[in-house]
């Protein structure tokens, strides 16, 4: 696993956008696995700028990591809404080539569709953030982790962390559809971006030792042959990385 440390978080976002941009330039039909949360916002800003400057997304397809259960895609707190607003409406991608799981359709059918979208052609690059407790997608710390797309019950810590996007913590859905760890590991490349002091414990477990543990689901990416972690200097120092 490669670790890239940038001077600032803004620079880390640009570095990740450049990695994605290089891929799309090299492979105009690239399949991207995308992430939500506040972490990738700067990446999407930069990709929108790159598109305005001529980077062509017309042949790109995307599949997102996860979606809250019980929330429709036109709800501003849904991940579909976030992706449309933060990226898809700002680049020349065909909306039909973007997939964010539906949180409201028949569950079994939607999980089957989700799996088809993940495996119908390998994901070239999977972008990840990381939860305060080390979750990726919505794969929460547990004794056992799921390999494929499934419904995850969110932990109180994740509900509390994500409450800032909702009017009240009681409105945060308690379940989500998410790619499993095996789905994430099936991508040809993984890029995990993190910033902020609250991620220091999880990032320490990810980049300063050689262990994999279901207690910090992100640690599984250590076993991937082409994984890159991009962080800023402040987080690297807080995580004890030298």
Among 130, 149, 181, 235, binds ligand GLP (CB under 6 A): 130
Residue with smaller CB distance to ligand GLP, 129 or 141: 129
Q: Which two structure tokens, joined as six digits, stand for 64?
A: 């997102």
The least CB distance from residue 26 to ligand GLP, in Å, is 26
Q: Which two structure tokens, joined as six digits, stand for 146?
A: 């799921």
Q: Which two structure tokens, joined as six digits, stand for 236?
A: 């690297």
Give the C-alpha distances (Å, rounded to integers) separating 161 from 36, 166, 192, 237.
14, 11, 19, 23
Among 65, 172, 181, 189, binds ligand GLP (CB under 6 A): 65
Map the footprint of ligand GLP across residues 87-126, applying CB under 6 A. Answer: none
Does position 66 interact with ligand GLP (CB under 6 A)? The reply is yes
Q: Which candidate, 110, 241, 114, 130, places its Cα nearest to that of 196?
A: 130
Query: Which residues are the active-site residues?
Result: 66, 133, 135, 140
Does position 62 interact with ligand GLP (CB under 6 A)? The reply is no
Does position 131 interact with ligand GLP (CB under 6 A)? The reply is yes
Q: Which candidate, 192, 63, 223, 40, places its Cα nearest to that of 130?
A: 192
The least CB distance from residue 59 to ligand GLP, in Å, is 25
């Amino acid at each position: 696993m490669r670790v890239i440390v940038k001077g600032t978080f803004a620079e880390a976002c640009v570095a990740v956008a450049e990695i994605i941009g290089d891929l799309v330039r090299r492979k105009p039909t690239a399949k991207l696995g995308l992430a939500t949360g506040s972490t990738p916002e700067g990446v999407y800003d930069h990709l929108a700028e790159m598109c305005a400057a001529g980077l062509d997304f017309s042949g790109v397809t995307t599949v997102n990591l996860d979606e809250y259960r019980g929330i429709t895609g036109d709800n501003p707190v849904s991940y579909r809404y976030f992706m449309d607003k933060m990226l898809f409406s700002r680049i020349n991608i065909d909306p039909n080539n973007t997939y964010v799981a539906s949180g409201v359709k028949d569950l079994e059918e939607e999980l089957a569709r989700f799996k088809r979208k993940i495996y119908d052609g390998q994901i070239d690059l999977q972008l990840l953030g990381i939860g305060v407790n080390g979750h990726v997608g919505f794969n929460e710390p547990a004794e056992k982790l799921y390999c494929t797309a499934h419904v995850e019950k969110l932990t109180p810590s994740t509900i509390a962390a994500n409450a800032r996007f909702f009017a009240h913590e009681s409105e945060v859905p308690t379940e989500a559809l998410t790619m499993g760890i095996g789905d994430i590991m099936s991508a040809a490349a993984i890029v995990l971006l993190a910033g902020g002091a609250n991620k220091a414990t999880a990032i320490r477990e990810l980049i300063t030792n050689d262990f994999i543990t279901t207690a910090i689901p992100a640690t599984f990416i250590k076993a991937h042959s082409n994984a890159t972690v991009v962080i800023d200097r402040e987080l690297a120092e807080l995580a004890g990385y030298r």
